[in-house]
Amino acid sequence: MNLLLAEVAQATQRLADAGVPSPRFDAEELAAFVHGVKRGELHNVPDADFDARYWEAVARREAREPLQHITGRAFFRYLELQVGPGVFVPRPETESVVGWAIDAVRAMDVVEPMIVDLCTGSGAIALAMAQEVPRSRVHAVELSEEALTWTRKNAEGSRVTVHRGDALTALPELDGQVDLVISNPPYIPLTEWEYVAPEARDHDPEMALFSGEDGLDTIRGIERTAHRLLRPGGLVVIEHADTQGGQVPWIFTEERGWADAADHPDLNGRPRFATARKAMP
C-alpha cells in the first residue's frame, strides 16, 4: 500500500466517526481531487507526491461541508456541473426523476419538444434533458440571483435558455405551448428543520429546501403554473420527499384539469416523484 492509500484509510475512519454517510467514497474522491487523478488511479501516486492539503480537505468534510463544495463539482447523469455556496447540490435520487421524464418526452410524437424546468438551481435537470433529448427546446427558471450565477456557468454553450423568475409566475409567453414541465422544488416542512442533514441544512440555500408547514406550498403553486404552461396532453413531473408519497398526486386532481396523476418510486423503492397529464378539453 502506498502512502496515499494509507492516508485514505485513516481519512475514511475519521469521516465515518464524524457521521459522513459515504466515508470511503468521500475520502477517495477528495484524494483524487487534491492529487489531480481519478479515484481508480490513487495507487499510482508516488509517496513523494503526497499533498498535505488532502488533510485540509478531509477536515472540511469532517465538519460536514458538502463534498461538492470542496471539489467545486457535482456529477449528475452524464454531466459534470460546477456548484458551490448559494446553489442546491443535485442529488442522485433526482436522476431517476429525470430518467422518467426523458423516456416520456421521447415517447411523445413531437419533433422539437418544449420543456420547462422550474426551480432549476444548478441547471442539472434542464441540462440533462437538453443533452439526452437532442432536439428539445429547454427553458430553465430560477429566482435566486446567487443560484443563477451557477446556472449560467453550467448552461454556457448549451441549448438551455436560462430565465430569472418566480416558478409561480414564470414564462407567460409560453402558456399552452409546453410539452413537459419538470421541477425539483423545495419540499421540506419547516417543522423538520432539525432533522435535515447538516450538509443540506447548513450549506444549501433555505429557499431550495423549505416550503411551508407541510412542505407542499411551492408544489401547490407549481401545479397552477404547470397547468397554465402545458398544452393539452402535456405532462408535469415533480419531485417530492419520500414521506409525501400519496399526498402530491392529490394536488393534481381532475377538478383542477388533470388526468392520470400518479406517484413513482426511486431506485430504492421509496415514493420520489409525482406525474400528471393536463386533461384534454
pLDDT tens per residue, the chain (281 residues)? 789 999 999 999 999 999 999 999 999 999 999 999 999 999 999 999 999 999 999 999 999 999 999 999 999 999 999 999 999 999 888 999 999 999 999 999 899 999 999 999 999 999 999 999 999 999 999 999 999 999 999 999 999 999 999 999 999 999 999 999 999 999 888 777 777 788 777 777 777 877 878 889 999 999 999 999 999 999 999 999 888 888 999 999 999 999 999 999 988 889 999 999 999 98
The residue from 23, 66, 185, 189 that is catalytic is: 185
Stated pTM of the model: 0.90
Please give the single-letter amino acid code of residue 141: V
Specify the pLDDT at position 204. 77
Specify the pLDDT at position 201. 79
- Say whether 54 counts as a known binding-site residue: no
Nearest-angstrom CA–CA distance, 61 and 199: 9
Specify the pLDDT at position 193. 72
Strands 258-265 and 271-278: antiparallel
Q: Which residues pair with 137 in a beta bridge?
A: 114
- Say whether 113 counts as a known binding-site residue: no
Could you tell me which residues come within 8 angstroms of residue 221 by beta carbon, excluding any fewer than 6 positions away? 167, 168
Specify the pLDDT at position 274. 97
Q: Is 25 a catalytic residue?
A: no
What cell does 96 get?
431517476
Nearest-angstrom CA–CA distance, 130 and 162: 12
- Say whether 184 counts as a known binding-site residue: yes
Q: Is 75 a catalytic residue?
A: no
- Say whether 93 counts as a known binding-site residue: no
Q: Is 2 a catalytic residue?
A: no
Could you tell me which residues come within 8 angstroms of residue 43 by beta carbon, excluding any fewer than 6 positions away? 2, 4, 5
Specify the pLDDT at position 9. 97
Specify the pLDDT at position 62. 95
* C-alpha distances in Å from residue 269, one per residue of 29, 88, 149, 272: 27, 24, 34, 8
- Say whether 2 counts as a known binding-site residue: no
What cell does 247 get?
399526498
Backbone angles phi, psi at 260, to 5 degrees: 60, 30
Q: What is the DSSP annotation of 154-167? A: HHTTSSEEEEE--T
The residue from 88, 210, 252, 273 that is catalytic is: 88
The residue from 23, 66, 76, 184 that is catalytic is: 184
Could you tell me which residues come within 8 angstroms of residue 133 by beta carbon, excluding any fewer than 6 positions away? 102, 105, 106, 113, 115
